[in-house]
Structure 1
Amino acid sequence: MSKVYFIKNSEADYNQLGKDALELLKRIVSETGHRFEKEVPIKVHFGEKGNKTFIPAKCYDGIINYLKENGVSPSYIETNVLYRGSRTTTKDHIETAKFHGFTQLPIIIADGEIGKEYDEVEINKTFFNKCKIGKKYGKYKQFIVTSHFKGHVAAGFGGAIKQLAMGFAARGGKLEQHTDISPIIEAEKCISCGVCVDKCDFGAIHIADTAEIDDSKCTGCAGCIAICPKSAISNSWSGSHFYEKLSEYAYGASKDKDIIYITFVHNITKECDCAGIPMKPIVDNIGIVAGKDPVALDTACLDLVQKSSGEKLFEKGKSSLIHAEKIGLGTMEYESIEINNM
């Protein structure tokens, strides 16, 4: 059974939310005897442009100051997204982060300019033997992984497991989780410009009437998705066993790492922060949970949301929790320790 620390907070006060996050971090450090390395990146989600319900930068001020006061050099760390949006390339991603107020720290985009830089982490599980994890994650032993618990169209919900699985994966790793095939070229959009051919490091693309991908040569790096000037290359979202693949990539991301997890159960929307549109919360604000077991944390968050709503919201996401427990990522059994934030 894992310990999950919880502070109730239903107010729309981000300054207080930041103080509560710091209180939970201090509690975990105190109770576990956690000792920080000299450099500790904070894994965050900067929010897609147009989204208004991502967790804002001010919620991290207390954590940042605490780390610095304790001789730790923090940074923000992320990977580029798979789809075409405001965070597809490193340049655009950092611009979006700063536009959303994440200016307190240096920003590391771990998988390179178009998401092709990665290390392979061996896990030997049911669906993956190796995971493609953003290369710059390999430099660090410790992370503070912060998550925003909310819905997700494919995963059921987004929390600590998804933040590990998608947030640590390079673009090719994201593609592996979402689909069983190479990227798809939409012939009606393709102008046969050859940019994808020139940029493919594996000789997997050639021009016939339009660009075509040779599945036998494609490694699934998905770099072509990022550089196509007409957005003619996309991925399929119809891959099988997505929940289980998500859990296995989370396992790979956290393997041999020392991580503290903090999850904000606020601004709980139907879809995730990757949706570049304003959304209305579907459940009242609940608070923040923290711990060192991502499976226990996500289970606790799901229980809190379902209890608050009186409905089985995000229930399909339980499949990822079940598989995560099976492969040894963590346990769904937890002890909830509520902390008074007064």
Structure 2
Amino acid sequence: MSYVSCGSARAQSAEESLPLKAKRVLEDSGALDRLSRGDIALIKVHMGEKWGFRSLRPKLVRSLVEAIKDMAATPVVGDTTSISLRSNRGTAPGYLEVAWSNGFTPQVIGAPVVILDGLRGLHHVKLKAGRVLGEVEAAAGVLEADFILSVAHFKGHARTGIGGALKNVGVGCLSKTGKARVHLARKPWVKAELCDGCGKCISFCPAGAIELKGGKAEVSEERCLWGCGCWELCKAFSTWSEMHRSNKEMSMAVAEAAKAVLDEFRGKHGFVNYIVDVTLHCDCAPFSDIPATHDIGVVASRDPVAVDKASVDLVNSARAYSPLAESLKVAGPGADKFSALHIYPPTARFSEQGKPSWRTLLEYAEQIGLGSQSYSIAEIL
């Protein structure tokens, strides 16, 4: 049975404020027990999207930066680029602009803010993975750290049901190629009958994997880097839905990728989930809807499965004071707030690949040895 430390979002004094409480929760959890003096400690976060405002708040990260400094280690705050070179976070310069606009600067955070997979998100190291993935491409900058602390904003996710520690590592620690491998069952292709031979995709592809043959674009599977976003260029390309894995298989892929990355750290890892601003959509969304429940607090553990399971349990055991939860009929205590993802408009279309289920993610993660869904929990004041 794993140990999870938690702290409530309730506060009536400075010492009870969530950033300071989170530092005490982290220290009590044992998540920093394997951190050594002089280590470079990566604090892996998601720094939000351009117009979203309910993602992880910089002040909640700064107190954890200070906890690492207190142990004479060197904290670095970082994330990886998103799938597609055309997205706001698709390159390191683009993502840094988004991060700065959301307050993730060295001056606010108290540590360097870095992008971990290179200028275009293509710098990676191949790792062995499980039966779904076979192998996966981890961001090279992630693996250069001595210690990793996942700090996640806990929320819903259209594919995996939840976004917490497992997804922060199992997707967020990968290069573009790795992210594509986790999400997609196939590489992109061109539908010849829809291609007019304009050549736009040829100049776009950084790998030179697209050529004109007989006046039609054709993708070389061998040279394709898988993740750059050519499919967004025109209607002649395969769609995201046509390429995507089933949601069940993707959940399993996320768990396998997380294990591949964490195995590289040989136990030098910890996990923090902030259960505040719990939206049903993930932080990659270019907007922020109202939360599905009230703010609950923070949890921390050395076990990523336990910390995610505790987060689910705390959300689902709460009486949600939320018009959104009321409208989806999941407001009551004991109601699975994430069970409504298939009818929630921003995420419903992703149910083409199956109803998202956090249970699949956690059960498979436990099965492959990532951690335990059985935990004891203690509240830290």
TM-score (structure 1 length as normaliser):
0.89
The question of whether the paired residues in 2 share the 8 Å contact of 1:28 and 1:34 is answered with no
State how 1:1-342 maps to structure 2 within 5 Å.
1-10=1-10, 16-29=17-30, 32=33, 34-83=35-84, 84-104=86-106, 105-123=111-129, 125-184=130-189, 191-193=198-200, 194-197=202-205, 199-200=206-207, 203-208=208-213, 209-215=215-221, 217-223=222-228, 225=230, 236-237=240-241, 238-240=244-246, 241-257=249-265, 258-308=268-318, 309=320, 310=333, 311-315=335-339, 316-340=357-381
Q: Secondary structure at the match of 1:306?
A: helix
The question of whether the paired residues in 2 share the 8 Å contact of 1:178 and 1:236 is answered with no
Report Cα offsets for 1:68-107 as digits up to 9, x if no partner. Answer: 3432221111111114431111110011111111112322
Distance 1:6-1:126 versus aligned 2 partners, 3 A rule: same
Q: How many angstroms apart in 2 are the aligned matches of 1:78 and 1:101? A: 14
The question of whether the paired residues in 2 share the 8 Å contact of 1:29 and 1:35 is answered with no
The count of residues paired between Structure 1 and Structure 2 equals: 334
Report the CA distance between 1:51 and its aligned residue: 0.3
The question of whether the paired residues in 1 share the 8 Å contact of 2:31 and 2:301 is answered with no
Report the CA distance between 1:162 and its aligned residue: 0.3
Q: Secondary structure at the match of 2:240?
A: coil
Q: How many angstroms apart in 2 are the aligned matches of 1:317 and 1:4? A: 19
Q: How many angstroms apart in 2 are the aligned matches of 1:165 and 1:293? A: 14
Report the CA distance between 1:175 and its aligned residue: 0.7
The question of whether the paired residues in 2 share the 8 Å contact of 1:36 and 1:142 is answered with no
Q: Secondary structure at the match of 1:262?
A: strand
Q: How many angstroms apart in 2 are the aligned matches of 1:190 and 1:330? A: 51
The question of whether the paired residues in 2 share the 8 Å contact of 1:183 and 1:220 is answered with no
The question of whether the paired residues in 2 share the 8 Å contact of 1:141 and 1:256 is answered with no
Distance 1:213-1:142 versus aligned 2 partners, 3 A rule: same
Report the CA distance between 1:185 and its aligned residue: 5.0
The question of whether the paired residues in 2 share the 8 Å contact of 1:120 and 1:130 is answered with yes
Q: How many angstroms apart in 2 are the aligned matches of 1:80 and 1:300? A: 28
Q: How many angstroms apart in 2 are the aligned matches of 1:94 and 1:232? A: 32
Distance 1:271-1:31 versus aligned 2 partners, 3 A rule: closer
Which deviates the most, 240-249 or 289-298?
Answer: 240-249
Report the CA distance between 1:25 and its aligned residue: 2.0
Q: How many angstroms apart in 2 are the aligned matches of 1:242 and 1:295? A: 17
Q: How many angstroms apart in 2 are the aligned matches of 1:60 and 1:168? A: 18
Distance 1:12-1:106 versus aligned 2 partners, 3 A rule: farther
Whichever residue aligns with residue 2 of structure 1, its letter is S
Report the CA distance between 1:267 and its aligned residue: 0.2
Q: How many angstroms apart in 2 are the aligned matches of 1:239 and 1:129? A: 15
Q: How many angstroms apart in 2 are the aligned matches of 1:189 and 1:230? A: 10
Q: How many angstroms apart in 1 are the aligned matches of 2:97 and 2:286? A: 15
Distance 1:134-1:285 versus aligned 2 partners, 3 A rule: same
Q: How many angstroms apart in 2 are the aligned matches of 1:162 and 1:30? A: 18
Report the CA distance between 1:28 and its aligned residue: 3.2
Report Cα offsets for 1:276-313 as digits up to 9, x if no partner. Answer: 11310110111100011000111110111111142112
Q: How many angstroms apart in 2 are the aligned matches of 1:79 and 1:154? A: 19
Report Cα offsets for 1:1-31 as digits up to 9, x if no partner. Answer: 1001011114699992211221122223599
Give 5+ residue unaligned stretches, structure 2. Answer: 321-332, 340-356
Distance 1:305-1:242 versus aligned 2 partners, 3 A rule: same
The question of whether the paired residues in 1 share the 8 Å contact of 2:36 and 2:71 is answered with no
Q: Secondary structure at the match of 1:94?
A: helix
Whichever residue aligns with residue 3 of structure 1, its letter is Y
Q: How many angstroms apart in 1 are the aligned matches of 2:139 and 2:170? A: 11
TM-score (structure 2 length as normaliser):
0.80
